Homo-oligomer: A and B are copies of this chain.
Amino acid sequence: MSPRQIDTQTRQDREQELLDAAMKLISDQGVEGLTMDKLVGSVPYSKGTVYGHFSGKEDLLLGLCNRGMALLISMFKRAELFEGATRERLLAWLFGYQLYARLYPMFFMLVITAKSPGVAEKASERQREKHIQLQAALSGGLLGLIQQALESGECGNPLNMTAEQIAFANWSASFGSISLLSKGADKCNIRAELMLEESLLMNVSLVLDGLNWSPLSSEFDYNPVLERIRREIFADEIEALRAEKN
C-alpha cells in the first residue's frame, strides 16, 4: 500500500506485459522474429524502459525460458497426482513433457538456447538464479518418484544406477526423441505429431524395461493407462492442441 509497494506492483505487471508481447512475436514470426526493436514497437514503452527490465536480448530470452519452465512445473504438479504404480506415474510425467513440447515448441527449444554459453553468460544474475531454482523444482519431483520406485523394488535397477542417473536416462531419452522429431512439425503435419507420441513412448519403454521397472511392457498393456492420463490429467492441454489446429 505504500508508494513503493505500488511501484513494484506496476513494475511486475509491466514485465509480464513485455513477456506477453515477446511470446506473441515469437509465436507469430518464430524465435528469430523476436527483435528488441519489434518488441519496443509492439508495446507502449520506450527502448530505455524495456532495457530497464531486461539487460539485453539474452536476458529476455532467459526470462521467457523461465516462464516456460514455470508452466511445465505446473503440468508436472498435476501429473504427480495421478494414481497408479510408479511406472504409470512416470508415464504421466513423460506424457506431460511431450504435450508441453507440442503446445509450446518455442519454450521447449528455448531451454537449449538458454543453456548455450552465448546467452547464459550474458543474462542477468536475477534471471540466472531464477533459472537454476526452477530447474531444481523441475527435477525434484521426478527424483522423488524414482526414489520411491527404487525403495519399493518396483524398479529392479540391474545396473545399480543412482536415482540421478535414472532420472537423466529418462530425461535424455525423452529430450532426444522430442527434439529430433519435432523439427518442422510446426503445423499441419498431424502424422508427425502422432509419430512423436508413439516413438517417445516406445523409446522410454525400452529404457524402463532395461531398468527392469515393473510392470514390463511385455507383461502389461499401457494403452488404457495412457487413455486415463489423457482424460484425467491433460484434457485441457489436448483440447488446446486440437483448437490450435484450426
Contacts and interface: CB of A to CB of B under 8 A. Distances in A.
A177 B179 contact: no
Interface string A167-207: 01101111111011101101000000000000100110111
A209 interface: yes
Interface residues of A, number: 41
Contacts of A115: 183-184
Given A172-B173, A172-B180, A165 B199 contact: yes
Contact of A209 (B116, B158, B175, B181): B158
Given A109-B116, A206-B206, 20 more contacts: A30-B117, A32-B118, A115-B183, A117-B183, A158-B209, A158-B218, A159-B202, A168-B177, A168-B203, A169-B203, A173-B176, A173-B203, A175-B180, A176-B176, A179-B179, A203-B207, A206-B211, A207-B207, A208-B210, A210-B210
30 contacts: A112-B112, A115-B183, A117-B183, A117-B184, A120-B184, A158-B209, A158-B217, A159-B218, A161-B202, A165-B202, A168-B199, A169-B203, A169-B206, A172-B177, A172-B181, A172-B199, A173-B173, A173-B207, A174-B176, A175-B176, A175-B179, A175-B180, A176-B176, A176-B177, A179-B179, A203-B207, A206-B211, A207-B210, A208-B210, A209-B210
A186 B209 CA distance: 34
A202 B169 contact: yes
3 pairs of A and B residues whose beta carbons are closest in the complex: A176-B176, A206-B210, A172-B176
Contacts of A30: 117-118
A183 B218 contact: no
A30 B113 CA distance: 13
Given A168-B180, A173-B172, A180-B172, A205 B112 contact: no
A199 B162 CA distance: 11
Q: Which of A30, A172, A199, A217 has the most CB of B within 10 A?
A: A172
A211 to B, nearest CB: 6
A120 B32 CA distance: 13
Contacts of A172: 173, 176-177, 180-181, 199, 203
A32 B172 CA distance: 26
A136 B180 CA distance: 15
Contacts of A202: 159, 161, 165, 169
